A and B are shown apart, each in its own frame.
Chain A
Amino acid sequence: MIPVLDPVSERARILRLVERITYGADSGTVDVAEQLGYEGFVEWQLDHEAIDDGPIEALLIDALPTLSMTPEELARHIFIEENFGAAQRDLVIATMIRRAFSPRQLYERMVEFWSDHFNVPALDVVGGYYKALEDRDMIRPLAMTRFEDLLQSSARSPAMLEYLDNANNTADGPNENYARELMELHTLGVDGGYTEDDVKELARVFTGWTIRQPAEFLFNGFTHDPGPKTFLGEEVIGSGEAQGTNVLRTLANHPSTARFIATKLLRRFVADDPDPAVIDDVAQAFSDSGGRVVDTMRALLLHPQVADTMALKFKRPNEFTAGVLRRLQPDPGTDILGRIYNALAASGQVPFGWPAPDGYPDDREHWQSTTGFLVRFNAAYEWARGLVDASPLIRAAAEQDRISDMATVLIDGLRPAGVTARTRRILIRYANGLPADDRAPAMAAWLLAGPEAQWR
């Protein structure tokens, strides 16, 4: 990609920051970031509770009834009244609306990060039920707290207990699924220094950790293996549930975990292959703060090397979709919920749709594919044409008499970093061949589908 701005200018740094920690640099957010400055914008977004997202949450709760049901009500709604897909559908739509429109952008990004990290798919009726509750009652409340809080809650979450089979892990034939992924994917990382014996011992530690219906954690002493266990070379302290609590604390505070989480955060926010020296610095901040998310993210985002690193991340489909919506800013009341769902279903990244426990991939190699581009092109085209009367930006462009003014309005709104003179010339030249009414939506579609819109 050819940088349009001087890449080390303050404006370029701020635009990159906005693209990194939001779901798309619309002009309004860019204005706010420029007023606050780089550090000010980071601090504003880190203190997410101080940002009012009341209107959006009120709207979602009004429109999507399953979001506010108790576990018992939701169980009745799904299983007895046979609304089998309701929880999953509402959760996906709420998630995308929040990503696209919540002012708590970094917070929503962290919710997504932990949802991937502790991946539980909502691919069947039971999975959808548990996941909807986990998202509301665990991931969202804890996303900006401490890693150990997330880890302890995840280990007791019915969604995770069901998905990785720990609900069926008993002394008379331990199920190793959760124990292995807990170390490989949630904490130490695959090269983090554990052995096959550690997998087996850890599986024994978590025997008896199960679900009380409909959706509560239960430690069942009758199916727990009370014998002594050795884990990472040391005897496990405590007895019963406390053994699990203790090993989770050990794992949360392990240096391999700090490095693993730091690597994944940098991979999500900065580059597919992060610089090892920066990983060290972020891991240090993670350890020094006792795994506090806010302190770790502050260290990451204010790291001088991060601020100056070029935009190297290829957008994942949900980032692309949210970015389109953030820029087109459809009028309130526009019926876009079903469209969002369909767009994501086609994209290969419906939230909570990845079946394996490692979460959706986070690298360009996976997402840059022919079919992936096809879906992006079609989506940009359909959004721009479908919202031609419902997007203030496209309306404003359509009111211009001259094609070049139309291009200016659209570029300012859709690409705050600007586009190359060459791209601008191409837009104008091709739009010239279209009937007047088609020009604004067509140019919008080309900008939304073009190469600059794929990077962040």
Chain B
Amino acid sequence: MTLDMKRRTFLQAAAVTGGVALAPRWARAAVKDLGAGDRLVAIYLRGGADGLTVCPPLGESAYFDARPTLAVSEADALPLDGFFGLHPAAGGLKDLFDDGDLAVIHAAGLQTAERSHFEAQATMEQGIDAGELKPGDGWIGRYLAELAPSLPLAAVALDQAVPQSMVGPVDALAIGRIDEFEVALNPLDRSALKAVYAADPLLAETANGVFDASDALVPVAAMPPGEGYPQGQLGGALADCARLIKADAGLQVAAINGGGWDHHDDQADQIDPLLADLAGSLAAFRDDIGEAWNSTTVVVMTEFGRRVRENASLGTDHGHAGVMFAAGGGVNGGQVYGDWPGLDPADLSDGQDLRVTTDYRQVLAELLVQRLGVTDPSPALGGWEPGAFRGLFQPIAAASMAGTKRGSGRLR
């Protein structure tokens, strides 16, 4: 984002919030104001995860015709509802599904096909449709602007960088791995650096964020990571996310990236460990955070699914619809949502890819309203108006909404 754009975002924020969002959040009241909504954990699988392997449509013969080597067989799959199954490496997801804690949304994605990784990711992270991409805030960033969190660890990317979905007037902290977030500087060095950074308005807040985060992370780092997580990228990140929750550090939104889902060749061998990481991590995360699971919602998304027909190198090329997951204590789980468009050639998007029957924003809209306490999700989603809710989530109990210090809940 350029200087100009950043400034424009700031000015817009100042206009809509009367400047509240501009105040350093830890300079405001140090009391916890967690809002009434759930804690959001947004997991993005980069590369375009193959929905037809993750959650195979076992009841459809065209699936096995299009995927002679890659299809997950009915014998191997973990059955979900008689038509769909889960890949055998996704046992953790199956456990969550069976317990009613996981909803599967199939044939979901960008309404308009976009087969470039980078365009599709950026588009989804802004909460818009393909073709509408221009520099702007992310859908989570717009939610955070309304939430105006007051604690340094309220909005965190468990990664080296803040993802585009979190861009907005509230500066989220990218903290990477908690155990590696260690400031080598002594107090005098810190003071000297803070003093020199005070003269650079574009960098000062990030510089101060280093010291605020490192102070706030002390009690979090003292807490050992939970057990049962796989050794993968998502396992490490979700274990850290759980530590933030268990240490009561004020976490409201966490963004987590999982890479490596672009499988143009040898897909079967590559997707197995990734799915085991995703599924095992989510299951371990639920066990790890205990009661907090009831006030946590996890959404898992990817930029697109893969082409229906496998290629000759035992992989799949870029397709259209994929699969999304929502997990948490407030999810109406144990169901596969979405109209199944079918895999016959006449039913496909551009004659080749799974058609999108659920705009990914429908899931986000229901999540924002039912679990995060937003009354109008449309501004977070590029002005898009969701359809009738499918009942993916249980509405947050009215009682917990009362008496909070939140704003109107309306995103502007």
- How far does the alpha carbon of A198 sit from the alpha carbon of B264 in the complex, in Å? 18
Q: Give chain A nearest CB distance to B110 CB in angstroms.
A: 14
> Across the interface, do B1 and A196 meet the contact criterion of CB distance under 8 Å?
no
- How far does the alpha carbon of A451 sit from the alpha carbon of B311 in the complex, in Å? 50
Q: Give chain A nearest CB distance to B306 CB in angstroms.
A: 11
Residues of A within 8 A of B176 (CB): 348, 371
Q: Does B119 contact A (CB under 8 A)?
A: yes
In the complex, the number of residue pairs spanning A and B with C-beta atoms less than 8 Å apart equals 164
Residues of A within 8 A of B192 (CB): 426-427, 430, 442, 446
Given A367-B161, A371-B160, A450-B193, residue A165 in contact with residue B264 (CB < 8 A): yes
Residues of A within 8 A of B116 (CB): 180, 184, 190
Q: Give chain B nearest CB distance to A257 CB in angstroms.
A: 17
> Across the interface, do B317 and A377 meet the contact criterion of CB distance under 8 Å?
no
Contact with B along A163-200 (1 / 0, CB 8 A): 01100111011111100100010000010000010010
Q: Give chain A nearest CB distance to B395 CB in angstroms.
A: 34
Q: Does B81 contact A (CB under 8 A)?
A: no
Comparing B177-185, B274-282, B401-409, the segment that makes contact with chain A is B177-185
Q: Does B259 contact A (CB under 8 A)?
A: yes
Of all chain B residues, the one with the shortest Cβ separation from A272 is: B2
> Across the interface, do A381 and B197 meet the contact criterion of CB distance under 8 Å?
no
Q: Does A362 contact B (CB under 8 A)?
A: no
Q: Does B132 contact A (CB under 8 A)?
A: no
The interface centre, meaning the residue of A172, A180, A363, A365 with most chain B CB atoms within 10 A of its CB, is: A365
Q: Give chain B nearest CB distance to A313 CB in angstroms.
A: 11
> Across the interface, do B206 and A378 meet the contact criterion of CB distance under 8 Å?
no
- How far does the alpha carbon of A236 sit from the alpha carbon of B164 in the complex, in Å? 39
Q: Does B269 contact A (CB under 8 A)?
A: no
> Across the interface, do A374 and B196 meet the contact criterion of CB distance under 8 Å?
no
Q: Does B15 contact A (CB under 8 A)?
A: no
Q: Give chain B nearest CB distance to A388 CB in angstroms.
A: 15
Comparing B71-79, B208-216, B219-227, B375-383, the segment that makes contact with chain A is B208-216
- How far does the alpha carbon of A165 sit from the alpha carbon of B185 in the complex, in Å? 45
> Across the interface, do B185 and A430 meet the contact criterion of CB distance under 8 Å?
no
Residues of B within 8 A of A173 (CB): 309-313
Given A348-B160, A374-B210, A381-B184, residue A451 in contact with residue B200 (CB < 8 A): yes
Q: Does B3 contact A (CB under 8 A)?
A: yes
> Across the interface, do B206 and A373 meet the contact criterion of CB distance under 8 Å?
yes
> Across the interface, do A348 and B199 meet the contact criterion of CB distance under 8 Å?
no
Q: Does A372 contact B (CB under 8 A)?
A: yes
- How far does the alpha carbon of A173 sit from the alpha carbon of B182 in the complex, in Å? 50
Q: Does B207 contact A (CB under 8 A)?
A: yes
> Across the interface, do A368 and B203 meet the contact criterion of CB distance under 8 Å?
yes
Of all chain B residues, the one with the shortest Cβ separation from A357 is: B117
> Across the interface, do A370 and B313 meet the contact criterion of CB distance under 8 Å?
no
> Across the interface, do B315 and A165 meet the contact criterion of CB distance under 8 Å?
yes
- How far does the alpha carbon of A358 sit from the alpha carbon of B47 in the complex, in Å? 12
Residues of B within 8 A of A348 (CB): 160-161, 176
**Which among A175, A199, A442, A454 is the interface contact of B203 at CB below 8 angstroms?**
A454
Q: Give chain A nearest CB distance to B100 CB in angstroms.
A: 36
> Across the interface, do B203 and A370 meet the contact criterion of CB distance under 8 Å?
no
Residues of B within 8 A of A165 (CB): 264-265, 313, 315
**Which among A196, A355, A381 is the interface contact of B259 at CB below 8 angstroms?**
A355
> Across the interface, do A420 and B210 meet the contact criterion of CB distance under 8 Å?
no
B interface SS class = loop
> Across the interface, do A190 and B119 meet the contact criterion of CB distance under 8 Å?
yes
Of all chain A residues, the one with the shortest Cβ separation from B197 is: A451
Q: Does A213 contact B (CB under 8 A)?
A: no
- How far does the alpha carbon of A355 sit from the alpha carbon of B207 in the complex, in Å? 28
Q: Does B154 contact A (CB under 8 A)?
A: no
The interface centre, meaning the residue of B157, B181, B191, B264 with most chain A CB atoms within 10 A of its CB, is: B264
Given A273-B2, A312-B3, A377-B185, residue A372 in contact with residue B174 (CB < 8 A): yes
> Across the interface, do A370 and B183 meet the contact criterion of CB distance under 8 Å?
no
> Across the interface, do B264 and A370 meet the contact criterion of CB distance under 8 Å?
no
- How far does the alpha carbon of A1 sit from the alpha carbon of B210 in the complex, in Å? 20
Residues of B within 8 A of A367 (CB): 161
Q: Does B173 contact A (CB under 8 A)?
A: yes
Q: Does B46 contact A (CB under 8 A)?
A: yes
- How far does the alpha carbon of A372 sit from the alpha carbon of B175 in the complex, in Å? 9
Q: Give chain B nearest CB distance to A230 CB in angstroms.
A: 17
> Across the interface, do A426 and B195 meet the contact criterion of CB distance under 8 Å?
yes
Residues of B within 8 A of A355 (CB): 259-260
Residues of B within 8 A of A170 (CB): 312-313
Q: Does B327 contact A (CB under 8 A)?
A: no
> Across the interface, do B199 and A420 meet the contact criterion of CB distance under 8 Å?
yes
Residues of A within 8 A of B310 (CB): 173
Residues of chain B from 285 to 333 with CB closer than 8 A to chain A in the complex:
309-313, 315, 317-318
Residues of B within 8 A of A420 (CB): 199
Given A165-B315, A173-B310, A173-B312, residue A382 in contact with residue B118 (CB < 8 A): no
**Which among B119, B174, B313, B350 is the interface contact of A371 at CB below 8 angstroms?**
B174
Residues of chain B at the chain A interface (Cβ within 8 Å): 1-5, 46-47, 115-119, 157, 160-162, 164, 167, 173-176, 180-185, 188-189, 191-193, 195-197, 199-200, 202-204, 206-207, 209-210, 213-214, 259-260, 262, 264-265, 309-313, 315, 317-318, 350
Beyond contacts A164-B264, A168-B313, A177-B262: 9 other A-B pairs, Cβ-Cβ < 8 A, are A173-B312, A273-B2, A369-B157, A371-B176, A372-B161, A377-B184, A442-B188, A446-B193, A454-B203
Can you report 14 residue pairs joining A to B where beta carbons are below 8 Å apart?
A168-B313, A170-B312, A173-B311, A174-B312, A177-B264, A177-B317, A184-B116, A355-B260, A356-B117, A369-B161, A369-B174, A371-B161, A420-B199, A450-B193
